[in-house]
Amino acid sequence: MKKKLAMLLMAGTVAAPLALTPATPANAAFDCGYRMCMWDHLNYSGSKWNFSPDQVNFVNAANERATSLHNNHGRQVQVYSDANLQGRRFGISPWMGINDLRQYADHPGTPAWISNWNDKISSYVRF
Ligand SMILES: [Ca+2]
């Protein structure tokens, strides 16, 4: 009986920290390395794509899927709505993470829900 109780208590101490430690954006950004990282869903979650080159003319599997991103690099990145650096463009500052691209519009004064960047990125260049 005492042995069973001790095992239950041990199990409790092991399980509790796992339940109380959700993934954080900071962790996700850290996992990004010195790269341009995109995630399919909000808050750096879902499928993840990492890019190292200074210019990517087509982001392949990530095409029009990025909903959050992290420019984990000391240089500015410009993303484009079409392949080969064409279409609408949007600048992302060095070391900047965006956890919800739905909130970002590329034309000042245009509501984000009209020209937001959710599921739009097809290419990028780093300056
Ligand atoms: Ca998405």
CA–CA separation, 76 and 81 (whole Å)? 17
pLDDT of residue 19: 41
How close is the Cα of 122 to the center of ligand 1, in Å? 12
Structure confidence by residue, pLDDT tens digits, 64-97: 999 999 999 999 999 999 999 999 999 999 999 9
Q: Show the domain range for 43.
A: 24-126
Whether residue 36 lies inside any domain: the answer is yes
Top mean-pLDDT range of 9-13, 20-24, 121-125 = 121-125
How close is the Cα of 11 to the center of ligand 1, in Å? 37
The pLDDT of 53-58, averaged and rounded, is 97
How close is the Cα of 68 to the center of ligand 1, in Å? 8
Residue 10 has pLDDT above 50, yes or no: no
Whether residue 12 lies inside any domain: the answer is no
pLDDT of residue 25: 54
Whether residue 7 lies inside any domain: the answer is no
pLDDT of residue 60: 97
Count: domains in the chain: 1
Write the CATH number for 82: 2.60.20.10
How close is the Cα of 111 to the center of ligand 1, in Å? 19
pLDDT of residue 8: 45
The pLDDT of 96-112, averaged and rounded, is 84
